[in-house]
Amino acid sequence: MNPYDAAHQLAKAIRQSDEFKEYINVKEAIDQIEAKKTISDEFRKTQLEVQAMRAMGQDVSDEQMAKLHNLYNLVSADEQVKNLVQLEQRLGQMLSDVHKIIGDALKTD
């Protein structure tokens, strides 16, 4: 089997998964409400910035942590936005699992 064909089949399977469909539905609903979209976008952006800084061994300022904490509280207070963040985490875990499966299959030891 051609690896590119298999990758396209995998992408199709992910797009057809219940997790992905639910994520798309929730994201589309949130994107229609500017305040919710702003909260989810800012939370994601700030979370990625903090993770990147930590990965590079940089100190995260108290101000950045306070911003992330405040955004987390806003996310937690809104069930729809909270659900979106949880769905993003589940999709991320799925992709991480797929990456691990492929990596394990390619080990040569």
Terminal CA-CA length for the chain: 23
What does the alpha-carbon distance between residue 36 and residue 47 come to, in Å, rounded to a whole number? 16
Alpha carbon distances (Å) from 69 to 21, 22, 52: 29, 26, 17
What does the alpha-carbon distance between residue 89 and residue 86 come to, in Å, rounded to a whole number? 5
pLDDT of residue 1: 82
Binned at pLDDT 50, 70 and 90, residue 31 comes out as very high
Helix (H) or strand (E) holding 57: none
Instruction: Report the share of the chain in percent with pLDDT over 70.
Output: 100
pLDDT of residue 9: 97
pLDDT of residue 107: 87
Q: Is the pLDDT reported for residue 99 higher than 80?
A: yes
Alpha helices in the chain (DSSP H): 3-15, 18-31, 34-55, 62-77, 79-105
Q: What is the mean pLDDT of the chain?
A: 95
Q: Is the pLDDT reported for residue 109 higher than 80?
A: no
Q: How many residues does the chain have?
A: 109
pLDDT of residue 86: 96
As a whole number, mean pLDDT of residues 76-93 equals 96
What does the alpha-carbon distance between residue 57 and residue 101 come to, in Å, rounded to a whole number? 28
Dig out the tokens for 92 from the structure. Answer: 């991320």
Chain centre to alpha carbon of residue 80: 15
Pick the CATH number of 3-105 from 1.20.1500.10, 3.40.630.10, 1.10.8.60, 1.10.10.10: 1.20.1500.10
Q: Is the pLDDT reported for residue 108 higher than 90?
A: no
